[in-house]
Amino acid sequence: MRQESGDASLLRRLNSAAILRILRGGEVVTLTELARAARVSRPTAEGIVEDLLAKEWAEECDGGPADRQRGRPARRFRFHGSAGHVIGVDVGGYKLLAVTADLNGEILATRRVAVSPDMPQADRIGAVAALVEESVVDRAKLAAVVVGTTGVVDETGRVVKSVAIPEWTGVHLQAELAGLIPVPILVENDMRLAVLAEHWRGVAAGYRDVVYLFTGNRIGLGLLIGGRLHRGSHAASGEIGDQSSGYRLAFRNVIDYAMSADPGELRSPGRAAEFAVGRARAGDEAAARAVEAFATRLAEGLVTIVNPLDPELVVVGGGLSQAGALLVEPIQRHLNRVTLYPPEVVASRLGNESVALGAVRLALDHLDRTLFTQAL
């Protein structure tokens, strides 16, 4: 008898998981449709739905005027996105950005904090924890936090190597934050999160092979291959390493222009590029030449990625994606000229929020993997 009871309990859990997955798909469904899709009887579906309603994983919704006009309407249900929320955090050298979203991915709040590149390690970790605390909508409903950071990040959430942020190499960021934030914490490389965001709700939606080029105070890459994030054998995919040469030299023209046009202001590489872009848009021919040279340098670096990987799309992201055609068109021209199968080059519409949005998506994916075993 115990075995039969165990079998019945397991069967109910499996049926509950199946119904929750159907609701999680985003459709508003009736009991009859749920029963049919889950291949269970209508009474079984009804009992499971009542349990999910009580646990706030599902909600009943109005079928609309058409149903009301037919008399007694069929009960309709959907996944309750407000049952919880997640937070995605972007940890950069110059900023911390947190995006809070419900379980349907709807953005609830965005918070940004300026920081210094030479901020001490402990202070930066504390600032991340404080930002998460400020971003919590309902403490009881916070389900997961994902943090994206520059550097090589291994599967345990440890920053193995970091070039862009001093004192960041060797920080076990996931463990440090787990001691400060009482919910599941994941840490991932920021460039992988950025390309994940583009694939989720950006210009790369529907594409399977994508190169994401981050342009800001540094240069980074994110790779989507066969519809999946590429981590690399050492989890170093996306990190270019020491940028004193190669991609780092791409900024030379815009830095030189900014220094000659406004020598009284000391700017970071990204700020110099933004300055040159602004002047180019205003009609400054010298600025336009500097920006085109910058874009061409970026394209020359991309060739070594594009030819062997053969992507469908190159996404120009980061803060400088707002330059739009001023960057995209020179990059496209160069790739058209020197690559075997030139991919389409487009500017991101997510801009500086791509990493935090990708962190939100990874948090939701994590919950989808665990939701059906823990919430039933």
pLDDT tens figures, 203-254 = 999 999 999 999 988 888 999 999 999 988 888 776 765 554 555 688 999 9
| Number of neighbouring beta carbons within 10 Å of residue 169 | 15
| pLDDT at residue 25 in the model | 81
Q: Looking at the domain that runs over 2-79, which CATH code has it been given?
A: 1.10.10.10
Q: The pTM is what?
A: 0.87
Q: Pick the closest to residue 220 from 354, 363, 359, 120 (CA basis).
A: 354
Confidence class of residue 69 from pLDDT cuts 50, 70 and 90?
low
Q: How far apart are the first and last CA of the chain?
A: 23
Q: Pick the closest to residue 171 from 101, 104, 91 (CA basis).
A: 91
Mean pLDDT value of segment 174-192: 95
pLDDT higher than threshold 90 for residue 201: yes
| Percent of the chain residues past pLDDT 70, beyond the cut | 91
285 Cβ contact partners less than 8 Å away, ≥ 6 residues apart: none
| pLDDT at residue 117 in the model | 86
9 Cβ contact partners less than 8 Å away, ≥ 6 residues apart: none
| Beta carbons of 86 and 133 less than 8 angstroms apart | no
* Pairwise CA distance, residues 151 & 192, whole Å: 11
Helix (H) or strand (E) holding 79: strand 76-79
Mean pLDDT value of segment 97-122: 94
* Chain position carrying tokens 């115990």: 2
Confidence class of residue 375 from pLDDT cuts 50, 70 and 90?
very low
CATH topology assigned to domain 83-194+355-374? Nucleotidyltransferase; domain 5 (3.30.420)
- Number of helices and strands in the chain (H, E): 12, 15
Strand partners, 107: 101
* Pairwise CA distance, residues 79 & 220, whole Å: 37
Q: Residues 285-294: pLDDT tens digits?
A: 999 999 999 9
What residue type is assigned to position 161 of the chain?
Answer: K
Provide the mean pLDDT of the chain: 89
Comparing 83-92, 158-167, 193-202, the range with the smallest average pLDDT is 158-167
Mean pLDDT value of segment 34-58: 89
Q: Residues 250-274: pLDDT tens digits?
A: 899 999 999 999 998 888 888 999 9
For 66-94, give one letter per residue: b (16+ CB within 10 A) or e.
eeeeeeeeeebbbbbbbbbbbbbbbbbbb
CA dist 251 to 82, 270, 285, Å?
Answer: 44, 8, 18
| Number of neighbouring beta carbons within 10 Å of residue 370 | 12
Higher pLDDT, 288 or 68: 288
| Beta carbons of 143 and 85 less than 8 angstroms apart | yes
pLDDT higher than threshold 50 for residue 4: no
What residue type is assigned to position 34 of the chain?
Answer: L
Tell me yes or no: is domain 205-349 CATH 2.40.420.20: no
Higher pLDDT, 319 or 130: 130
> In the chain, where does the domain assigned CATH 3.30.420.40 lie?
83-194+355-374, 205-349
Helix boundaries (H) for the chain: 2-24, 31-38, 42-54, 65-69, 121-135, 173-178, 190-201, 252-261, 269-281, 285-309, 325-338, 354-374
Distance from the Cα of residue 248 to its chain's centroid: 25
| pLDDT at residue 242 in the model | 54
| pLDDT at residue 262 in the model | 92
> In the chain, where does the domain assigned CATH 1.10.10.10 lie?
2-79
225 Cβ contact partners less than 8 Å away, ≥ 6 residues apart: 208, 209, 309
Gyration radius (Cα) of the chain, Å: 24
Confidence class of residue 348 from pLDDT cuts 50, 70 and 90?
very high
| pLDDT at residue 240 in the model | 67
Comparing 40-44, 84-88, 169-173, 264-268, the range with the smallest average pLDDT is 264-268
